[in-house]
Amino acid sequence: MFQRIRYRLLLSYLMVFASLLGTFAIAVRVALTRSLTEQITDKLIAIGKGAAANVEFEKGRLTVESDFHPQDLITYHQALQWFDTQGNLITQQGQTVLTLPLLSNKMLQAQTGKIPIQAVTIPIMMSDNGELVGYVRVSQSLEEFDETFQKLDWGLGGGIIITLVLSSIGGILLTRQAMQPIEDNFKRLKQFTADASHELRSPLMAIKINAELPLEYPEEIGPKDAEKFQAIASATHQMTRLTEDLLMLARTDRVSNQNRDTLNLTSILENLIQLYKPQAEVKQINLTSQLIGNLQLIGNSVQLTRLFTNLVENALYYTPSGGVVEIKISRVASQLYVNVQDTGVGIAPEHIDKVFERFWRADQSRSYWSAGFGLGLAIAQAIAQNHGGLISVTSQLGIGSCFIVRLPTS
């Protein structure tokens, strides 16, 4: 149980941490991309202005000044293009030219593809009258930045993975440390329950004996007092059962290998059926079985008897007269399956998860003293788990229930 809580704690911790790291990485990536793009744009604008200053405009024709050497202005991964006012290309310089048409109303342009290119368009104005005579477009390949970003992505991704691995190691240690006091407390609580129920046994026994004694001489106490003593005796009997159940629950986890033997599950079930046949007959319930002979199992016979007793008692209790209760054994590989099936009142779907909870009963209004305490299935489940097995249940309201116990043979 604690193992599961630990895993869940660790998982949620890692999930929170991973999403924080992811957000951080994305933020870094976005901020860096933006600042780099801005830097490039600024640079391209400066180059564009330089290029725009080196043109001549004569008789409606735009030409690049003959003494202008664009190579001085641009590097190998940049390019220059001059356009007239209609957007027709006049001349260009450099490798990484944009093939897209000029968009005179848009200053920034980007071309995706094998090599991503970013471009800036600058209008060329005559210095004397401010007339628009053309455009110059400066572009730059983003190849080297792509490489940089790829490295950055790898770095961030790798960093996140390494951090997550390290933090899961830390998380394991931390959750272990955090769970320790809870586990200790739980153990102490269990010990307390065990001790308290153990200590309650003798006083309860004393009350029981003292209440039953006068009942043996009814002529001495009169019918009214006899009734009272009877009530005390039966209440004491119920309380004894409750303390026994609590003790059982508190102790099931602790049954170690020393209390385990090789035992015959078939004969345990046969004995149980013999024992409950009369009770079933009184209630006119057909108690039947389909057993396989001589099924060996390693476990504690007292506990396993208790487990199946609880299931059979429930089946008989929650099945009306004329019903059928069937006990079936089957074997699949190294697992034994015992089905206790009834044609009883069934369990509502919304209650099915609760039946194994301690003190849970479908009919809470019924007095504790008239039926059980709602510990029977909790005990049965604890015993099954203690044997490395499991109990599950399928049920349909008004039709019946089937409790399936799975037990490993070794």
Q: Which residues contact Mg ion (rule: CB under 5 A)?
A: 314, 372, 376
Whether residue 339 contacts residue 400, with contact meaning beta carbons closer than 8 Å, is answered with no
Find the part of the chain contacting ligand ATP (CB under 6 A) among 9-17, 56-64, 88-96, 358-366: 358-366
User: What does the alpha-carbon distance between residue 85 and residue 24 come to, in Å, rounded to a whole number?
Assistant: 46
131 secondary structure, DSSP code: -
User: What does the alpha-carbon distance between residue 176 and residue 170 come to, in Å, rounded to a whole number?
Assistant: 10
| Residue 329, SS3 per DSSP | strand
Q: Which does 374 bind (CB under 5 to 8 A by kind): Mg ion, ligand ATP, none?
A: ligand ATP
Asked if 355 interacts with ligand ATP (CB under 6 A), we say yes
Q: How far is the CB of 384 from ligand ATP (least distance, A)?
A: 13
Asked if 362 interacts with ligand ATP (CB under 6 A), we say yes
Nearer to ligand ATP, 347 or 382 (CB): 347
Q: Give me the residue whose beta carbon is nearest to ligand ATP.
A: 372
User: What does the alpha-carbon distance between residue 274 and residue 269 come to, in Å, rounded to a whole number?
Assistant: 9
Nearer to ligand ATP, 342 or 382 (CB): 342
Asked if 73 interacts with ligand ATP (CB under 6 A), we say no
Whether residue 376 contacts residue 359, with contact meaning beta carbons closer than 8 Å, is answered with no
Asked if 373 interacts with ligand ATP (CB under 6 A), we say yes
Q: Which does 375 bind (CB under 5 to 8 A by kind): Mg ion, ligand ATP, none?
A: ligand ATP
Checking 335-339 for CB contacts under 8 A at 24+ apart, the result is 335/406, 335/407, 335/408, 335/409, 336/265, 336/295, 336/297, 336/406, 336/407, 336/408, 336/409, 337/404, 337/405, 337/406, 338/265, 338/269, 338/308, 338/404, 338/405, 338/407, 339/402, 339/403, 339/404, 339/405
Find the part of the chain contacting ligand ATP (CB under 6 A) among 64-72, 82-90, 199-207, 375-383: 375-383
Torsion angles phi and psi, residue 269, rounded to 5: -70, -35
| Residue 158, SS3 per DSSP | helix
Q: How far is the CB of 305 from ligand ATP (least distance, A)?
A: 15
Nearer to ligand ATP, 347 or 384 (CB): 347
Asked if 361 interacts with ligand ATP (CB under 6 A), we say yes
Q: Which does 285 bind (CB under 5 to 8 A by kind): ligand ATP, Mg ion, none?
A: none
H helices of 216-262, where? 218-252
Whether residue 109 contacts residue 121, with contact meaning beta carbons closer than 8 Å, is answered with yes
Find the part of the chain contacting ligand ATP (CB under 6 A) among 21-29, 41-49, 289-297, 338-346: 338-346
Name residue, tokens 């050497």. 69
Nearer to ligand ATP, 137 or 361 (CB): 361
Asked if 307 interacts with ligand ATP (CB under 6 A), we say no
Asked if 318 interacts with ligand ATP (CB under 6 A), we say yes
Which residue type sits at 18? Answer: A
Q: Which does 171 bind (CB under 5 to 8 A by kind): ligand ATP, Mg ion, none?
A: none
Query: CA 111, 97, 90: angle at the middle one, nearest 5?
Result: 125
Asked if 389 interacts with ligand ATP (CB under 6 A), we say no
Q: Candidates 145, 273, 342, 391: give the one binding ligand ATP (CB under 6 A).
A: 342
Asked if 306 interacts with ligand ATP (CB under 6 A), we say no
Find the part of the chain contacting ligand ATP (CB under 6 A) among 56-64, 143-151, 373-381, 383-391: 373-381
Q: Under the rule (CB under 6 A), what is the footprint of ligand ATP?
A: 310, 314-315, 318, 342, 344-347, 355, 360-362, 371-378, 401
